[in-house]
Amino acid sequence: MDVPEDLRYSSDHEWVRRSGSRLTIGITDYAQDALGDVVYLEVPSGGAVVAAGERISEVESTKSVSDIFAPVDGTVVEVNDQLGDQPELVNQDPYGGGWICVIDIGGDESGWDALLDAAAYRALIAE
């Protein structure tokens, strides 16, 4: 499983890439592999205020339907509308074109600090 070193991770299998106060969110390679072929992905609403652990999206695959949770508190400032027509991007490029949304955390660093680094996420999925 691909676990990029430059990202942070939630225990719910979301990845997080930081650029200032903006965090790009997606599901990990591990999660997309477990789901199988993704056939539908609901993106969150732009402008939505979200709390860590809150359901923000849903992904449907040939195997199951799963919720996607906000890994941090913040405001959804951008969504990947391309996933409406091409949900398979989550499988093909989970850390690139398969991103789901961008959350602005403002000045609240606590959510970022609570995320797992790559080594801790590898340990989690090895269990």
CATH number of domain containing 30? 2.40.50.100
Predicted local distance difference test score (pLDDT) of residue 127? 83
pLDDT at res. 1: 82
Rounded mean pLDDT, 3-15: 96
Q: Which residues contact 85 (CB under 8 A, 6 or more apart)?
A: none
- Does residue 81 lie within any of the structural domains? yes
Q: Is the pLDDT of residue 107 over 90?
A: no
Sheet of strand 55-61, all strands in order from the earlier edge strand to the far edge: 38-42, 55-61, 65-69
Distance CA 9, CA 114 (A): 9
pLDDT at 108: 84
Assess if residue 107 is contained within a domain: yes
Report whether pLDDT(4) > 90.
yes
- Residue 3 counted as domain residue: no
Q: What share of the chain is helix, strand, coil (3-state, %, to 5)?
A: 25, 35, 45
pTM summary value:
0.93
Please give the residue range of the domain that contains residue 19. 8-126
To the nearest whole percent, how much of the chain has pLDDT over 90?
91
Q: What is the pLDDT of residues 48-102, one digit of tens each?
A: 999 999 999 999 999 899 999 999 999 999 999 999 999 999 999 999 999 999 9
Per-residue pLDDT at 27: 96
Q: What pLDDT was estimated at residue 29?
A: 96
Number of folded domains in the chain?
1
Q: Is residue 1 part of a domain?
A: no
Question: Pairing relation of β-strands 22-27 and 101-104?
Answer: antiparallel
C-alpha 71/C-alpha 102 separation (Å) is 11
pLDDT for 34 equals 93
Q: Supply the mean pLDDT for the chain.
A: 94
